[in-house]
Amino acid sequence: MSRRPESERSDWTDLDLLTREEAHGRLLTEIADTDVRLAELGAGDEAERELLQRRLSALHEAAEDLIGLSGPTDQQKN
**Residue 42 included in any domain:** yes
Tell me which residue range forms the domain holding 37: 19-65
Q: What's residue 63's pLDDT?
A: 95
Residue 70, CB half-sphere, CA atoms under 13 Å: how many?
12
Per-residue model confidence (pLDDT) at position 8: 63
Task: Give a yes or no: residue 70 inside a domain.
Answer: no
Proportion of the chain in helix, strand, coil states, percent, rounded to 5: 70, 0, 30
| Within-domain flag for 24 | yes
Kindly state whether residue 45 falls inside one of the protein's structural domains: yes
Tell me the per-residue pLDDT of 29-53, one tens digit each, with 9 for 90 and over.
Answer: 999 999 999 999 988 899 999 999 9
Q: What is the pTM of this model?
A: 0.66
Which one, of 16, 40, 18, 38, lies nearest residue 27 by Cα?
Answer: 18
Overall number of domains in the chain? 1
| pLDDT for position 77 | 47
Each residue's pLDDT tens digit, 3-17: 656 666 666 555 667
